[in-house]
A and B are shown apart, each in its own frame.
Chain A
Amino acid sequence: MTMEKTPQKPLVIADRLCKTYGGGRGFLAGSTPALKAVDNVSFEIYPGETLGLVGESGSGKSTTGRVLLQLEEPTSGDIIFKGQNLTGLSKPLLKPFRRDMQIIFQDPYSSLNPRMTVGEFVGEPLVVHGQGGNRSERNDRVAALFRRVGLDPSFMTRYPHEFSGGQRQRVCIARGIALDPALIVADEPITALDVSIQAQIVNLFQDLQDELGLTYLFIAHDLSMIRYLCHRVAVMLRGRIVEIGPCEAIFENPQHPYTQALLSAIPVPDPKIERERRPIAFDVNANPTPADAVLKPVGERHFVLG
C-alpha cells in the first residue's frame, strides 16, 4: 500500500475528545458519580485507512465511535471531518455530513427495525436525504445495494425475523453504504456472529473498502481480526488510548504493559503454541494511568501513554 507513505490530509481528526456520564445533580435524584467513558482521546484517520480500536468492555471504545459520529455529544474536544469542525453543529447543519459517515453495529438482531421491511430499511437513508429519485428508481438502487453485499434483491420485501445473523449484518452494511459514505465506524460488527459466518463478513468489509475506497474505524476486542484488517491500531483502557501505532509495530513490539497483557491473552488456535502460552497479568487498579500522562513517540507513528 502506497498510501501510507504519501502525506495526506486526515479524513477525520478526533482532538482531545472527552465524554463524561453522570456527575450532574438530578431533580430529586441526588448527585451521581461522574464516569469518564472517554478521556482525552485524540487520533486521526486517513482516507482509505482502517484504524482498529481495541479494548475490553467498559474501555470506552464504543462510546468513542459514537461520539465521533456525533451520535452522542462530546463533553469536550473537537471532531474535524474533512477540515470542518463538527462539534456544536446543530442537527440541520450536521445533516449533510451524515451522508459521509455511517455506523454498523454489533448486534444484528437489535440493529434492524423489526417492523420495517429490509428493503425499506436499506432505502431509508436515500429517502431522508432526498436521493434516489422516485420510488421505482430508489427500488433499483436498493436492489443494486443488495446485490453488492451479496443478498438476493428478492428479499427486499421481507421482515428482519426471516433472516439469519449473517444476512442481517449484510442488510446493515447495505444501509451503511447506501449514501456512498467516506467513513464507516464498524462497532464490533462480527462479534455476535457464528464463527463460520465471521470470515464472510470480514471479507465483505475488505471488498467494499477496495471497491469504494472506504475509510474504517474498526472497533473490536478480537485482536486477531484487528491484525488481519487494520493498518493502524489504537488500544484503549478505561477511556484513554494507551498505545497507538501501525499494526505491525503494536503486534510485534508492544510497549505499554496493558497492550502486552492484551496480546498475550489472545487464544491461538494451535495446541502447540497455546499450551505454552502464559498470559501476562496486568492489574489496572495497581497501575493507574496518571492524569497528566501524554502520548509519547516510541517509533515511527507509534505512541505510548506514559
Chain B
Amino acid sequence: MKSFFLALLKSRAGLFGFLLVLVFIAGAILAPYLGLPSPTRSSLTARMVAPTWTSLFSPGAHPLGTDELGRDILSRILYGSRTTLLIAAGAVVLGGVVGTLLGIVAGYYRGMVDRILMRIVDIQLALPLMLLALLVVAAVGASSQNLVVVLALTSWLRYARIIRGQVLALREREFILSAHAIGAGTWRIMIKHLLPNVMTPVLVIATLELARIIIMDAALSFLGLGVQPPSPSWGRMLADGRVYITTAWWIVTFPGLAILLTVLSVNLLGDWLRDYFDPKLRTAR
C-alpha cells in the first residue's frame, strides 16, 4: 500500500487525476455547506447574469453566472455532480459486480455457459450502447434507479469479456490445477484463487468505465432522458443553455467543462492504475 502511494506521487499525471477526483468528490459532498444559493431557486431579477471572477467571495454573488431563470450555475454544477456521481458510481458497481461474476463463471466453466454468454455479449455489442440506453430509458422511465440499471446494462459486458479472457488464461495456470489437485471446491477456487487475481483488471476497467458512464449519463440527460427536473443535471443544463448560445455563452460552457474535467481526471487515474498494475491491459480494451 505504501509503495502504491509512493508510485502515485511519482507519476504527475496519476497524481493530478487522483487529486482532481478527490476535489470533485469533496465538492459533491460539501455542496450544501458552502453557502451557495439553492440550485433550484430562480430569480427573475438575476436572469443570465454573466460570470464575474471578482464576485467569487462575496455572498449571494454568482461567480459562474446565472441561467435563463436566474439560477446560480456554480451551485447547479455542484448539486448536479451529486446526482451524476451517484448514478455513475452505482452503475459502475452494479455493472462491475455482474460483469465480473459472469466473466468468472464463463471462463471457469467454459463450454455451453461460456458460448451462450459470449453470444449475448455479441448481440448487445451489435446494438450501439447509446441506442440501447435510449430505448430502455424511454421504455422504463428516467428515475435515478432506472438510470443506474440502464447504464450498468451498457457496462457489464466490458467486464465480462475481459475477465472471462483473464480467467481462461488463469485457468491454465498451474496453481489453479494445484487447487483442483488438493480437492478444493468450485466456490473456493472462484473466491480464493480466481477473484483475487482478477481484481486488478476489474479496478482498472471500473475506473475507465466510470468516465464513459459519466459522459453517457450526460448525453442521456442532454436528450431529455436523464434525471427529471427540477433536479439539476449537467446534460440537461447543456441542453437548456444551448438555446441561449448567442446571448449567454456561460450557461452552456461551464457544465461542459465540469464534465470534461471529471472525465479527464478519472481517465488519468484509470490510465495510471492500469500502467501500475498491468501494462498488458493497454491493448485489451
Contacts and interface: CB of A to CB of B under 8 A. Distances in A.
- A/B: CB atoms within 8 Å of each other: yes
- Interface size range of chain B in the complex: 20 to 34
A120 to B, nearest CB: 9
B282 interface: no
Interface string A137-156: 00000000000000000000
A112 B175 contact: yes
Q: Is the interface of B mostly helix, strand, loop or mixed?
A: helix
Contacts of B199: 115
B197 A103 contact: no
Given A114-B197, A128-B188, A71 B175 contact: no
B197 A115 contact: yes
B22 interface: no
Interface residues of A, number: 32
A66 B177 contact: yes
A95 interface: yes
Interface string A12-44: 000000000000001110000000000000000
A114 B177 CA distance: 14
Interface string A83-109: 000000001001100110111011100
A177 to B, nearest CB: 12
Nearest to B115: A27
A37 B223 CA distance: 59
Interface in B174-196: 174-175, 177-185, 188, 192-193, 196
Give the one of A99, A111, A129 with max B CB within 10 A. A111
A161 to B, nearest CB: 12
B10 interface: no
Given A27-B115, A116-B192, A128-B188, A111 B175 contact: yes
Given A103-B178, A105-B174, A110-B173, A115 B196 contact: yes
Contact of B178 (A26, A101, A115, A175): A175
B177 A128 contact: no
B178 A172 contact: yes
Contacts of B115: 26-28
A31 to B, nearest CB: 15
A26 B116 CA distance: 12
Given A27-B115, A115-B196, A116-B192, A110 B183 contact: no
B181 A124 contact: no
Interface of A: 26-28, 66, 69, 71, 91, 94-95, 98-99, 101-103, 105-107, 110-116, 121, 124-125, 128-129, 172, 175, 179
Given A121-B175, A124-B184, 11 more contacts: A69-B181, A71-B181, A95-B183, A98-B181, A98-B183, A103-B181, A110-B175, A116-B193, A124-B179, A128-B184, A129-B183
Interface of B: 112, 115, 173-175, 177-185, 188, 192-193, 196-197, 199
